[in-house]
Amino acid sequence: MPSSSTVIIFVATAVVLAASISNVAYGLTAQHVIDSPLLTEKIGTNRTIKVDINGKGDFTSVQAAIDSVPVGNSQWIIIHVRKGVYREKVHIPENKPYIFLRGNGKGRSHIMWNKCSADNLESATLRVEASNFIAFGISFKNEADIGSPFTSTNQSVAALVGADKVAFYHCGFYSAHNTLFDYKGRHYYDNCYIQGTIDFIFGRGQSIFHSCEIFVVGDKRVEIHGSITAQNKQTAEEDSGFVFVKGKVYGIGGVYLGRARGAYSRVIFANTYLSKTIVPEGWTNWSYNGTTEDLFHAEYDCHGPGSATEGRAPWSRQLTEKEVAPFMSIDFISGREWLPVY
């Protein structure tokens, strides 16, 4: 008869193996921790431009380094943003793909600006318009005062992601209103931190947020609760949608998981910790006057005090394992075709 310690080891091994098999099936667990050395290895380049605010690199400005990349660049190039606070707007133009913007960690490398505008593009601290872009270990911040709610002085975007095949690893996004404009294209966010109040992840991107930390800052100036997402899928044929896998949502005040921005708005939270900052309704169609029958606001196997299903908006869905499977896979964004790690 096996000893009790042997039984414990066997059971523990079985549990770990089962979890591993489940994650591989979903395609969202890499064989290694996705860190800077792994990304550099997968990209396979020795071309590096160093940015150092103290003058110990090739440039003291991030934008100057980007400007030095040849138009029509077709091979990965690393722009290493060393620790420091870089107060500038950064634009990755459409004709400069294959840039890997690598920081020293989101608590050490910061790109900041201070701009409110009626135009989300105009206010953005970071604007990505080139495909095949990766950022690692950088915080993007818009420090503008949020002004009056629902006015032109309230658009303060930290990052606008308007290109296909874009990934962020271990990055931070900080603002108050409209923090992350996930505008269009296929995107992947891994272990990122995103902070805001109202509609602070919005747009019509086709995106996976894996193991991300979502922090809600309560806005007491408005009667309506804030909303984490405002996804803008307009037609049934569009592939867009936001999928949150694992990670956690917490913060101050009450907030909705999302509000309808388009007729086919699609957002899924799966295996995510939801704190009591999530209001019982969970979802809202505030300011959207159309039917709710085509909205796809859904949850799967979430946990925490904000995950209780009683009182949820009548059109929202609690998915089965079979229903959620297509969204839990990296194939939702065709990630095996373009993400270097996969």
Helix (H, G, I), strand (E, B) or coil at 332: helix
Residue (of 256, 250, 243) closest to 332 by Cα position: 243
- Please identify which of the residues 164, 182, 190, 199 carries the catalytic annotation: 199
121: part of which helix (H) or strand (E)? helix 120-123
Helix (H, G, I), strand (E, B) or coil at 18: helix
Return d(Cα 53, Cα 76) in angstroms, integer. 23
Return d(Cα 102, Cα 68) in angstroms, integer. 16
Tokens 């949850």 found at: 299
| Per-residue CA distances from 180 to 50, 59, 159, 271 (Å) | 26, 27, 5, 22
Residue (of 63, 80, 74) closest to 128 by Cα position: 63
Return d(Cα 174, Cα 111) in angstroms, integer. 10
Strand partners, 216: 196, 251
Strands of the sheet containing 172-174, edge to edge, are 84-87, 109-113, 139-142, 172-174, 193-196, 213-216, 248-251, 273-274
* 182 catalytically annotated: no
Return d(Cα 257, Cα 193) in angstroms, integer. 16
Point out the residues that are catalytic.
Answer: 199
